[in-house]
Structure 1
Amino acid sequence: MPRHQLLSPQTRAALFDPPSEPTAITRLYTLSPDDLAHVRRRRRPWNRLGFAMQLAYLRHPGRALGIGEEPPTAMLAHIAGQVGADPALFVDYARREEARREHLAELQAAFGLSPFGLADYRAMWRVASEVARGTDRGDAIALAVVEELRARRVLLPVATVVERLGLAVRARARATAYASLIRGLEDRQTERLLALLKVTEPEGRTGLTQLREWSEVPSAANLVRLAERLATVRAIGIEADRARRIHQVRYAIIAGEAGIMDAQHLSRLGPERRLAVLTAFVIEQEARLSDAAVEMFDRLMGALFRRAERKRTERLTDRAKEQESLVWMHAVSGRALVAARRNGTDPFAAIEAAVGWEAYEKSVDHAVGVAETADEGNSLPEVVERHASARRFAPTFLQTFAFSSYRKSDPLLKAVDAIKALYASEGRPTLAKDAPVSFLQRRWRPLVLPQGKNLDRRAYEMAVFAHLRERLRAGDVWIEGARAYRRFTDFLLPRPTFEDLRSTGSLDLPIPVSWPDYATERTKLLDDRLREVAALAEVNRLPGVTLEDGRLTISPLSRAVPEAAGALAKRLSALLPRIRITEILAEVDRWTGFASSFTHVRTGEPAFDRAAVLGTVLADGTNLGLSRMAEASRGLNHARLIWTAEWHVRDETYAAALATVVNAHHAHPMAHHWGPGDTSSSDGQFFRAGGRGEARSDVNGRYGDDPGALFYTHVSDRFSPFHTKVISATAGEAAHVLDGLLMHGSALSIREHYTDTAGATDHVSGLCHLLGFRFAPRVRDLKERRLYVIDRTADYGLLTPLIGGPVRLHFVEESWDDLLYLATSVRTGTAAPSALLRRLAAYPRQNQLAKALREIGRIKRTLATLDWLKDPDLRRRSHAGLNKGEAEHSLKRAVFFHRLGELRDRTFENQSHRASGLNLVVAAIVLWNTVYLGRAVDALRAAGEDIPADLLAHVAPLGWEHIALTGDYVWADDDVDSSVAFRPLRRIPASFQRVAA
């Protein structure tokens, strides 16, 4: 789009031209009896037709019919049919300028419309200015102006007037934002900001580049480098509060530019804009560096604990071998002693003869040592032994940040200060005698406070590091300036906003907001359901479930897929056209326009280089990377891909593109065979890391000894992968369940959700309930799960052995307001649910809110378990939903094949783009397969075959045998023939027999 043009041709047409779609024409241009009465006052048929067309234009889009303008053919025919005129007569009307002016004046007077004038221009300037404060998107500014003019019953001016107005307002809004952001900067601050654009020696790079680049590999040296960069950023002296001076969306635009522009680009900007972008860069960089440093400290401590656990395991293995020989020696000596007592001989001589006295003394000493160092089930002694490793990074970390807590005189923070003082002291450091210890967990106390000895300094330091890590994770200790580790309440709605919503009854939660009402409803529901299932168990009427002597047994589900479905799937797959992956992306974009979702970071306009967008997506989706994609592509080069990736490819644009494809897929008739569209499942897929990506990834023994990461994906019952994100291989999956259900951006409205065991926790169950989702996890160890009751004195028959305890409702009552506050904050999108759940679950001694949510989760989990026992259809739906997600993993493996399918990215951002690109490519394949499977079904039915709908429910759109995923990638602008709606199907192979009716 030209630089000084506010609207794209498509947007301009949508705002200022009548529609051409039949449904829109019928809806907008069906004349009422009063309209027809006005029209019939014209005597000549061409005047009636012209008058009606003028009336239609004034109704929508709200402007006068232009001189010489030709209306859309379908619109003209629709209106001509209503007034009884030949559409060809409009040509005669268009030549009569005087009649056109008279009719326009009459219509304006009749319907209270006024022409656009100077006063309207000034009023629209104010409207556009308000919108432009928070966006650079020309379509949003123009739409606000057009809607306001329509509301005022003012005729729209020509599009160029609105565009000139919007351009001027947008330029003024940008200049005002830049000036506000840098207002009050001191000369020294300005000098330091501009110094970031200069090349420094001996690095040979600008300060801007140096601050942007750091390694995410967890090591003491890298943490020190992060601290150095953070010190450089802080020395510039830019206050984070400056970001609040302007609209937050406007600030996000400037910050987005700051994350992309290099020194050369910035040097070409005007002075105010250059300083504003650098100011935003410094503010954002302090937050990024702070988060990165805390994350690295967390991972370093985690690695230290893992190494200690491995050392403990090795020690226990070695000790077991020693203890085996020790046991045999004492068994031999014990037999000798028993025999000596029985025979009345000298016991000492018996031991000497059996094992030798010297060997016996050594074995006793060895046994005493083993007893004194008996393992108590933790690896903390090994952790303390790694004190020297922690001292390489912990002092830097502690000195870099100021920690805050909700607790007054928090003993942990006092302990941190004591250790800081210890590190800062000269000579041989000694720990203060009054160093606080009340924060210590029970398992740490024997190590830190050995009996009869002074406080152990090394154990004390390691305990402080470990407790600080846990408290940062939990959020009750935070760091000012960080973003991911800020105070817990900063993730929530402002409290006054929540109170306003509550007072007006606008919390939008599917539960009673009154505690007495909620408690009564939950108590009755849980009691009724327990008695219902207990009664069914008494008469052995729980389908597939037996309860005997307190033991629960659930029979495996019978096979629900007919054999004929497999044969049908093969026949349909054989009909699908052979196609290249590039052609699939191009066709799906032609159907849906998903490439337009990749908007420019500043202007919000769609990317003009469609081929570069699709190439960038495929480079992420296949794990090929931009450099190799440029080498393997015809029609693309590296510069085009890099520019597109930097300015148009972001997490939010990926999400918007995915939502477009998912919406199109769910609307297709063929997809309706696979489910109602309101259930989903989620699961993590492990991708191994290789090369430079190994150091960025984590090892989880569940997936072997290789490092890697999880792509956690939500899949609908219609096979649409509607959300994905990257999580650590060692992170719990449960915290991320609600992210996909609430933050997917598509038109899906999920009612019921399934996960495997890894996705089921009481906190997730509780929050799902508060937000109105039916959470039905497939729990493999169901017979080990306990039920919870509210009335502990009630008799629930055969279920009694399964009851694990009472629900402590007093926890819920005490925190009821905070629970509503939490749920409302999540519902309104103030914070990602995973960020809140991780903090609630992180700290071992959970706070009151975490305990209350757990109790709600126990009620919900008990109800879900009871539903699972009595409802085989629920069990079958859950299994089927999870199987769909697992089947999609195979397709993802096939697509993500370059670089051996290994993650080789050093940063989380690049890994996230890989996951998003893969999900979007797979969603496009699923949509393309769905469309052509539907065409294949139509072809077979047209040939006289009966294709039962119940068989189609088992035909998955996940095949890729007909897709060329490798080879040269062709990105020609004419790679899709727009004159041909669909590709021809392949011929039906003779080897496939007809499907029985």
Structure 2
Amino acid sequence: MARRRLLGDAFWAGVFALPTEELEVVRHCTLTPDDLALVAAKRSPHGRLAYALLLLTLRHPGRALEAAEVPPALMTAYVARQVDADPTALEVHRLRPQSRREYLAELMRQGGFRSFGRTEARAIVAWLTAIAGSRRTPAELATTLIEELRRRRILLPTPGVLEGLIHEARARAERVAHRALTDGLDVARLAELDGLIAAAPGGSPSRLAWLRGASVSPAAANLHGLVERLRAVRALGIERSREAAVPPIAFDALAGEGLRMTAQHLRDLAQPRRGATLAAAVLRLEAELTDAALLMFDKLMGTLSRRAEQGATEGAAGALRDAQAHLRLLARAGRAVIAAREGGTDAADAVEQAVGWAPFLRAVAEAEDLARPEAIDMRAELVGRWPTMRRFAPALLETFDFEGATGTAGLRKALAVLREMDAAGRRTLPDDAPTGFIRRAWRPFVIGGAGKPDRRAWEVCVLSELRDRLRAGDVWVRGSRRYRNFEDLLLPRPTFAALRAEGPLAVGVAEDIEAHLASRQEALEAAMAEVAALAGAGRLPDATLDEDGLHITPIRAEAPPEVKRFAADAYALLPRIRITDLLLEVDGWTGLSECFTHARSGRPAPDRAALLTAVLADGINLGLTRMAESCRGPALRQLAWTHDWHVREECYAAALARLIEAHRALPLAAAWGDGTTSSSDGQFFRAGGRGEAVGDVNARHGNEPGVAFYTHVSDQFGPFHTKVIAATASEAPHVLDGLLRNGTGLRFAEHYTDTGGATDQVFGLFALLGIRFAPRLRDLKDRRLYTFRNRRPDLTLRNAPLMMPCRMSACGGGGVGDGGGGGRDRS
């Protein structure tokens, strides 16, 4: 049975081709002194040239030069100069077949070259099997295989044989992964896994479909549904340690297949592949359900907090309206008391005559009620929503074990107490209920007059603090990918120690902290002195710094009106073209469709038109159903299959990287910039249809739910990275993602953001990476800048700030403080 082709003829032609570019010729065709000594043993010039060409061809591309094959002219001329021969010698004096065979035998004997045979095939397949476990794409495996054959000086066999080696290595790697995931699973456990895909009576969906179909819309009932599914997954007893038994890429591939394939297709798989695929899918489902449940808890608490804040605001405004009459009465009573004091009469009589004593007492009582902090604080409103929290909190606490840093010990103890109370059905708090975790702002609402905590307020405070600590990363859950221990994302200490032992770390700062701080202080003081001198002379560009503070000239539009007219004329010259034709044309230039490989085999999509149609449906947010109805091309089933198996986030990232690289190669791109600077910003998109259920409400964008797209753009106007984030999320943690994980060859020296992308941590990380961070900050005059505590006293301008943010980022040493601290230095 013929195997399916993995790679096209163009790829293999490039593998076996002789070098034609000058750099390639120099790299692969330069003879060493030992080579020249061997070549010099041949007496005739054409013999020396033929001998040298045969030697170099054995090394690269790793095959024998054919008898009638003519090497590229550039290669022949370069080699001829080295062996003192005429490049046309081969044309005049053809090498006899016998001499060619003798030369090849001699070169293979002296150079250690071997022909490819069964022994070499067994050895190379065993070696490639380990590689195939962590590298999935055929192109990667082929490139690795060819390099290894060249390194071992084994002549390359035909493309069909090479593809057969890749097929065999991949099959073996899959069998190894299957055994690793199913090793130790008894027959009963495998039967439980098969029960996930068993046909349900009455045409109902399989249990696996039920597990995959959980709603992620924030609601108490949906959280219970996630918890129920998570318990069902855990009941299967597949240990999480099995995931570490196979390479991450292999596990992701198996888990992706299990979650993407239908139950019918999974039933058609043979063991142990079926068991391994289901085990990987179950482990991935456990992590995804864990993340979904914790994220839903976060959103539910956020929704309750927003409603409590709105209720507190509305309640305060209503109470103020209701209290106006009492305030007027108190004002009259106060005037009467003042007049009595000045006239020397009795104040009580004055109040009685002015407003009446009983109304005065009622007004004082009303004022006292309004003066209580809990009367207008959102925490009091949040405590009032305790019954809503009770609908989902017990299930959450019963399902998850929360771990955390040392500083969260009190909170974790409170969670354990609350879990025990829910299990026992107790309504009163124990006398030793922990209260050390309660923040100062919460204490008036939680701790009563007798010094004992109120049950409802205490529980609401526990849940609110849990949400905050989960978001901060101080509390985590094992098995979660989103809420896991931050230490798990760092290099292990032994690995870091080994890296340091190998040489300097790849960071943009000195490893000696004292030397680094000394250099930063020197640079900072020099910048402060320069700014102080310019400010004293009134020569700061676009800014004034004096005793009254910092005043910055607003940025004006630099483009004159003529530029807008020119842009409109330029766009008018562009031809009107169908977007489908444009997509096909760009694909013809760049081959971006090759990046959308099959999730299992790694091969490109067989139907390019169907693939690009599915991509277009994503791009214009039309959906596969409406796209199939509006075009005369592929049917819905074909589009759905192509989208399920060929369209993934990593495929989009690879295709975008290919587009950016093609854009960079255009001469016109250099007119905009050299590709060393970039900027990033978020854009809010409202969600519709099913997306409304999972979108976040951001007060900045109104009350309609949606998500934010955080996009990085180079100075050549290429959007090289885009990431979907929650509308309520801070942009700052995502700034570095686009610079470090874009898949392109771009290397940036400077990056710009707005205020939302700037935090002290981002400043510090950019300094470590050696990239200049230059954010555009809002309300700069209200900010305090970091300085060293022992700064020189002669660099001050009374109480005014001393340094512009661009100077600070040029030093690479500090960040912008968000207020606080008064006039004190902060280090």
Change (3 A) 1:767 1:77: closer
Q: What is the CA-CA distance between 1:338 and the residue it aligns to? A: 4.8
CA distance in structure 2 between the aligned counterparts of 1:507 and 1:590, rounded to whole angstroms: 42
Distance 2:449 2:507 in 1: 54
Match of 2:517 in 1: 519
Q: How much does 1:432 deviate?
A: 1.4
Aligned length: 811
- Report the residue type matching 1:403 in the other structure: F
- The corresponding residue for 2:539 is 541
Match of residue 422 from structure 1: 421
Matched, 1:861 2:815: yes
**Does the aligned pair in 2 maintain the 1:208–1:262 contact within 8 Å?**
no
Partner of 2:400: 401
Cα distance, 1:741–1:141 mapped onto 2, change above 3 Å? closer
Deviation (angstroms), 1:12: 2.2
User: Using the alignment, how far apart are the partners of 1:359 and 1:2 within structure 2?
Assistant: 100
**2:436 equivalent in structure 1:** 438
The answer for the alignment partner of 1:249 in structure 2 is: 249
- CA gap 1:667/1:802 in 2 versus in 1, 3 angstroms: farther
* Counterpart secondary structure, 2:680: strand
Over 3 Å counting, the alpha-carbon distance change for 1:356 and 1:855 in structure 2 is farther
Which residue number corresponds to residue 749 of structure 2?
751
**Which structure exhibits the higher relative contact order, with contacts defined as CA atoms closer than 8 Å and separated by 6 or more residues?**
1
Q: Please say if 1:616 is aligned against 2:619.
A: no
- Structure 1 residue 546: deviation in Å? 1.1
Is 793-802 or 621-630 further displaced after alignment? 793-802
1:650 aligns to what?
A: 648
- How far residue 107 of structure 1 moved from its aligned partner, in angstroms, is 4.7
Q: Measured at CA, do residues 856 and 250 of structure 1 come closer, stay the same or move farther in structure 2, by a change above 3 Å? A: farther
Within 2, Cα distance between the matches of 1:631 and 1:25?
Answer: 54
- Give 3-state SS (helix, strand or coil) of 2:786's partner: strand
Task: Let me know the Cα RMSD of the aligned residues.
Answer: 3.5
Does 591-600 or 285-294 show the bigger shift?
591-600
CA apart distance, 1:2? 7.9
CA contact (8 A) 1:766 1:856 kept: no
CA distance in 1 between counterparts of 2:407 and 2:691 reads: 42
Secondary structure at the counterpart of residue 65 of structure 1:
coil
The amino acid that maps onto 1:860 is: G
Counterparts of 2:331 and 2:812 in 1: how far apart (Å)?
50
Q: Distance in 2 between matches of 1:571 and 1:409?
A: 63
Q: Secondary structure at the match of 2:724?
A: strand
Cα distance in 1, alignment partners of residues 203 and 332 from structure 2: 72
**What are structure 2's unaligned runs of at least 5 residues?**
820-827
Please, which moves more after superposition, 635-644 or 285-294?
Answer: 635-644
CA contact under 8 A between 2:336 and 2:354: conserved in structure 1? Answer: yes
Q: Could you tell me how far apart the structure 1 residues matched to 2:561 and 2:342 are?
A: 76
Give the superposition deviation at 1:72: 7.5
CA deviation profile, 1:289-333 (whole Å, cap 9, x unmatched): 111111111111111111100000101111221233322222234
SS at match of 2:153: coil
Kept in 1, the 8 Å contact 2:336–2:347? The answer is: yes
Q: Distance in 1 between matches of 2:744 and 2:542?
A: 37
Structure 1: give runs of 5+ residues left out of the alignment: 806-853, 866-997
Amino acid at match of 2:815: R
Normalised to the residue count of structure 2, the TM-score between the two structures is: 0.90
Kindly state the Cα deviation for residue 251 of structure 1 after the two structures are TM-superposed: 1.9
| Structure 1 contact 789–803 (Cα < 8 Å) conserved | no
Partner of 2:322: 322
Match of 1:887 in 2: none
Aligned equivalents of 1:507, 1:437: Cα separation in 2: 44
Deviation larger for 542-551 or 196-205: 196-205
- The 1:193–1:29 alpha-carbon spacing in structure 2 relative to 1, beyond 3 Å, is same
Q: Distance in 1 between matches of 2:319 and 2:634?
A: 63
Letter aligned with residue 176 of structure 1: V
The 5 A counterparts of 1:70-469 are: 83-85=86-88, 97-98=97-98, 100-105=100-105, 107-108=107-108, 113-200=113-200, 204-338=204-338, 354-355=354-355, 358-373=358-373, 378-407=377-406, 410-426=409-425, 429-452=427-450, 454-469=452-467
Counterpart of 1:697? 695
For 1:816-865, what per-residue CA distance to the aligned partner results, in whole angstroms no more than 9, with x for missing partners?
xxxxxxxxxxxxxxxxxxxxxxxxxxxxxxxxxxxxxx999995236999
Contact 1:765 1:857 in 2 (8 A): no
Secondary structure in 1 matching 2:693: coil
1:530 Cα deviation after fit: 1.4
| Residue 626 (structure 2) aligned to one of 612, 615, 628 | 628
2:814 counterpart SS class: helix
CA distance in 1, matches of 2:507, 2:493: 17
Which residue of 759, 763, 766 corresponds with 2:764?
Answer: 766
The alpha-carbon deviation at position 373 of structure 1 amounts to 4.9
Is the CA contact 1:80–1:86 (under 8 Å) kept in the aligned structure 2? no
> Aligned AA for 1:85?
T
Query: Following the alignment from structure 1 to structure 2, what is the Cα–Cα distance between the partners of residues 36 and 2?
Result: 47
- Which residue identity is paired with 1:317? A
**Greater shift after overlay, 327-336 or 525-534?**
327-336
Which residue type is aligned with residue 582 of structure 1?
T
Query: Is 1:554 aligned to residue 552 of structure 2?
Result: yes
Query: 1:513-532 CA deviation, whole Å, 9 max, x = no partner?
Result: 11222222222222222122
Where 1:712 maps in the other structure, the secondary structure is strand
Contact residue 659 and residue 722 of structure 1 kept, 8 A: yes
Question: 1:474 & 1:642 partners in 2: Cα distance?
Answer: 39
Aligned residue among 681, 684, 706 for 2:682: 684
Map Cα deviations across residues 530-575 of structure 1 (whole Å, 9 max, x no partner): 1221122122221122122141111234553355544443443333
The reply to whether residue 598 of structure 1 matches residue 596 of structure 2 is yes
Match of 2:148, SS state, is helix
User: Is the 8 Å Cα contact of residues 408 and 475 (structure 2) preserved in structure 1?
Assistant: no
The verdict on how the C-alpha distance between 1:857 and 1:729 changes in structure 2, with shifts beyond 3 A counting, is farther
Offset, 1:361? 3.8
CA distance in 2 between counterparts of 1:527 and 1:44 reads 70
Equivalent residue for 1:728, pick from 726, 729, 734: 726
- Look up the equivalent residue of 1:638 and give its one-letter code: L
Q: Is the 8 A contact 1:682 1:754 kept in 2?
A: yes
Deviations 1:758-799 (A, max 9, x none): 111111111211221211110121111212221346224454
- Name the CA distance, whole Å, in 2 between partners of 1:529 and 1:857: 8
62-71 or 128-137, larger mean C-alpha shift: 62-71
TM-score by length of 1: 0.75
- Counterpart of 1:953 in structure 2 is none
Please tell me the residue identity of whatever aligns with 1:400. T
Identity %: 45
Match of 1:582 in 2: 580
Contact 2:217 2:694 in 1 (8 A): yes
Q: Is the 8 A contact 2:796 2:802 kept in 1?
A: no
Give the drift of 1:106.
Answer: 5.0
User: Could you tell me which residue of structure 2 aligns to residue 843 of structure 1?
Assistant: none
Give the alignment of 1:557-572 within 5 angstroms.
557=555, 559-572=557-570
Per the TM alignment, residue 462 of structure 1 is displaced from its structure 2 partner at its CA by: 0.5
Question: Secondary structure at the residue paired with 1:585?
Answer: helix
Amino acid at match of 1:510: G
Go from structure 1 to structure 2 and tell me whether the alpha carbon gap of 1:558 and 1:462 turns closer, same or farther (over 3 Å shift). closer
Residue 136 of structure 2: SS of its match in structure 1? coil
**Separation in 2 of the partners of 1:184 and 1:121?**
32
Corresponding letter in the other structure for 1:596: E
Specify whether residues 638 and 29 from structure 1 end up closer, same or farther in structure 2 by C-alpha distance, changes over 3 A only: farther
3-state DSSP of counterpart to 1:699 = coil
* Separation (CA, whole Å) in 1 of partners of 2:741 and 2:136: 24
SS of residue paired to 2:598: coil
**CA positional deviation for 1:183:** 0.7
SS at 1:369 equivalent: helix
Describe the superposition over 1:864-905 as per-residue Cα deviations: whole angstroms up to 9, x where unpaired: 99xxxxxxxxxxxxxxxxxxxxxxxxxxxxxxxxxxxxxxxx
Give the match's secondary structure for 1:724.
strand
Work out the CA distance in 1 between the residues paired with 2:462 and 2:300: 15
1:152-207: CA deviation from partner (whole Å, max 9, x where unpaired): 33322222232222222221221121112101102321121010011335781101
Counterpart of 2:602 in 1: which secondary structure? coil
